[in-house]
Amino acid sequence: MKVVSLIGAKGALEPALVSSLQSAWGGGEAVWLSPDEAAEFPVEAEPSNLRSVREDVAPMRVDVNCVDAENRKKRLLIADMDSTMIGQECIDELADEAGVGPRVADITSRAMQGELDFEEALTERVGLLKGLPVSVIDKVLETRIRHAAGGAVLVATMKSSGAYAALVSGGFVQFTSKIASELGFDTHRANTLLTSGDELSGEVGRPILGQDAKVAALREITKELGILVDDAIAVGDGANDLAMIGVAGMGVALHAKPKVAEAAPCRIDHGDLTALLFLQGYAASEFVTP
């Protein structure tokens, strides 16, 4: 048994669309998780034209996904940080402070779309930060980094149901340590910007945490918790998140690069991070605000 999930930008989901798809796909009774925002109904199998319908309703600012009816509420949230749990790419913000913003941003964009090797791209970008005062990290965190909408509610709601939350980033521990603490994550993993005195050395600690390391983190954490990878929901936006998204029991591409959104089992293009709660069957009335 499957569940068709319809999640719109706030106020965008019309009852007529829900009824139309319910009828077309032979779905069971619809349940509204949030008025004008999220609804779902059961189906026997994933509709064969799901992808084309998803494209058709995109102009309505509605996301259509199909998930397994069983084991929906996950016991582990494993999330990317940059452009997922926060709205920025930390290395791009550091580069802007160093005066090499456009050059680094271009490399970041190409790497996240899978056009460049992640490790090589990261090494090149970090090299351009050589000589930047370490104090700039705190400045960037204070003035440039903002939490993505719905992230704190996502973490708090899942943890209130007994889930564990892990922030696993191809970025840097100097940022994940603060973001993880602010959002309530139980643990975090990331790369380390190396320093020389009071300046960045232009090097990153080894081994570099990339796509394979994110999958390894998912497997290691689920093993430590005594659960299965099927009990995890993974979310990210870049090419280095795709393997993790594919391995987890529920994988979500959030406002992702085209290659990632196309390949991910679930995609959210219009909602915020609370959409991950709707995908798991949480009603808005169950959301926890920290």
Inter-axis angle of helices 151-160 and 173-183, to 10 degrees? 60
3-state secondary structure 133-181: ECHHHHHHHHHCCCECCCHHHHHHHHHHCCCEEEEEEEEEHHHHHHHHH
Query: Is 82 annotated in the active site?
Result: yes
CA 205 to chain centre: 24
Q: Of these residues, 80, 92, 231, 237, which one is catalytic?
A: 80
> Phi/psi of residue 266, each to 5°?
-125, 150
Which helix (H) or strand (E) is 233 found in, with range? strand 232-236
> Phi/psi of residue 86, each to 5°?
-125, 165
Query: Is 272 annotated in the active site?
Result: no
Q: Of these residues, 36, 63, 68, 82, which one is catalytic?
A: 82
- 223 burial level (CB within 10 Å; 0-12, 13-18, 19+): exposed
Active site (catalytic) residues: 80, 82
